[in-house]
Amino acid sequence: MRTVAGACLTLLIAGCSFDTSVPQYMQDLPRTEEETLRVCEEIRRELGDDTQVERVEDYFFVASNDSTQSFLQYKATIARVYRYLYEDYFTRRPEKPIRVYLFRDKTSYDLYCRATYEKPPGTPYGFYMSKERKMVMNISTGTGTLAHELVHPLLAEDFPGVPSWFNEGFASLYEQSGERGGKMVGFVNWRLPKLKQMLKINRGVPLADLMKTTTEQFYGEDDRGVNYATARYLCLYLQEKKLLIPFFKEFKATAKEDPTGALAFEKATGKKPAELDPIWREWVLSLRYQD
């Protein structure tokens, strides 16, 4: 089943003045049905009586003011992404619950962000607040946004200290995704045309440089779009060459030795990032995307 993709940009919020504390009722995973119902009711009081709230896959409290039919689709997307990620990549489960707030349109999404954070959202799509363990999304942009943002808290649990380039590259891989051979895979998406344009004029980011970027450098305003696209299509390349799973496992195992992932990359691919760079660029330029 192919997932509808939506343009997505993750907002990592750090050092802001608003309250980022986690509500008391979300401190620990509910153990009983009574505790689960209490959490759902607390979220409903926060968001309004027209909000549907359910616990999904034990760890997620999903809330939405959208239709019941759409809500069922969102729950299915979360369950699918969660199941596949733990089949092939992750081993450590979340220790605390995660809230997933899905607003049916831009109006309700903006209203929530302004009321809660006293400012409009920095992205029209969605973001994950790691300190609050909360995802907030304008779900009208598509379930690709949901799949992308869902990866972040799960990856953070499984791979603490994951660098920004892989955090965003791996998450954005699933902005447009589906099933192939019983596995979840990413497909070519809307980030390709811009990346090809930059590569053709020799303004792309070398893979070796991408892996060395700090968080501040990766999310820099001038280079952010290119960094996202480069990271995503590097992950897509590894996926298509059946190297993404072994790379990920090797990366986790050797991250203390090399937090950039370059050594794990060389072991998984047989080439250093700089050596694979021209091969990867030629592969990217051969791809086609139809909106």
d(CA 166, CA 117): 28
Residues of the chain with pLDDT under 70: 1-22, 25-26
d(CA 228, CA 74): 25
β strands within the chain, DSSP E: 52-56, 60-64, 98-103, 126-129, 134-138, 177-180, 183-186
For every residue of 77-100, DSSP letters joined together read HHHHHHHHHHHHT--PPPSS-EEE
Burial of 21 (0-12, 13-18, 19+ CB in 10 A): exposed
pLDDT of residue 5: 36
Each domain of the chain, given as residue ranges in start order, spans 24-158, 189-286
Q: Which two tokens stand for residue 278?
A: 């021209």
Instruction: Note whether 100 and 47 are within 8 A (CB).
Output: no
Q: Which residues, listed in sequence order, are joined to residue 183 by a DSSP beta bridge?
A: 180
d(CA 242, CA 220): 31
Q: What is the DSSP letter of 181?
A: T
Q: What is the dihedral of CA 242, 247, 248, 250, to 10 degrees?
A: 140
Tell which CATH classification among 1.10.220.10, 3.40.250.10, 3.30.465.10, 3.40.30.160 matches the domain 24-158.
3.40.30.160
pLDDT of residue 261: 98
For every residue of 224-262, DSSP letters joined together read HHHHHHHHHHHHHHHHHTT-HHHHHHHHHHHTTT-TTSH
Which is nearest to 165 in space by CA: 222, 121, 223? 223
Q: What are phi and psi of 59, to 5 degrees?
A: -100, -15
Please tell me the total number of residues recorded for the chain in this structure. 291
